[in-house]
Amino acid sequence: MAGISELEKKALKLIEESSDGILQSDLWKMMNLDSREGSRLVLRLVKKGLVKREQVIVNGRRTYRLTIAKTTSEPVSVKIDISTILDIPCATCPFINDCGPRNFHDPRLCPLLDRWLRAKIRARSHEREISRTTSI
């Protein structure tokens, strides 16, 4: 890992190995660090976005539980159904680059978009009506 010291790597490995996270004081003990060094180390890891620090109460004392922060580089899977907007007039509109609020071509005043939206609303109402009458 670039930009990470050996000490930080060691701390990350220890945090990663603990399934539920690790108390920061336990981490310091495992690494033979005093509280000042340990705090600085943890704050550096938090600042780099590598570690998440959550305040917890253990034996009546306030401390922090450390866990590995999820990286933003992890792939995120999101399913989006665009089938209902495939026929939107904007998709093939020659004015799309000039269209915007208060422009000559304005989506709030566009008859093509208005007609398309009204047709969608009618179709949706029709579907609801059909499903309502067939479920009776």
Q: Residues interacting with ligand SF4, by CB under 6 A?
A: 89-90, 93, 95-96, 99, 105, 107, 110, 112-113
Name the residue nearer to ligand SF4 (CB basis): 58 or 117.
117
Minimum CB separation of residue 113 from ligand SF4 in Å reads 4
Q: How far is the CB of 86 from ligand SF4 (least distance, A)?
A: 14
Of residues 45 and 113, the one with the C-beta less far from ligand SF4: 113
Question: Least distance in Å: CB of 33 to ligand SF4?
Answer: 60
- Angle at alpha carbon of residue 20, lines to 19 and 25, rounded to 5°: 110
List the end-to-end C-alpha distance of the chain, in Å, as a whole number.
62
- List CB contacts of 100: < 8 A, sequence separation 6 or more: 106, 107
Which residue bears the tokens 């209902």? 84
Between 46 and 99, CB nearer to ligand SF4: 99
Q: What distance lies between CA 120 and its chain's CA centroid?
A: 30
Q: Do residues 30 and 48 make contact, with C-beta atoms less than 8 angstroms apart?
A: no
Smallest gap from Cβ 118 to ligand SF4, in A, equals 14
Q: Which is nearer to ligand SF4, 23 or 116 (CB)?
A: 116
Query: Pick from 16, 19, 15: which is nearest to 27 by CA?
Result: 15
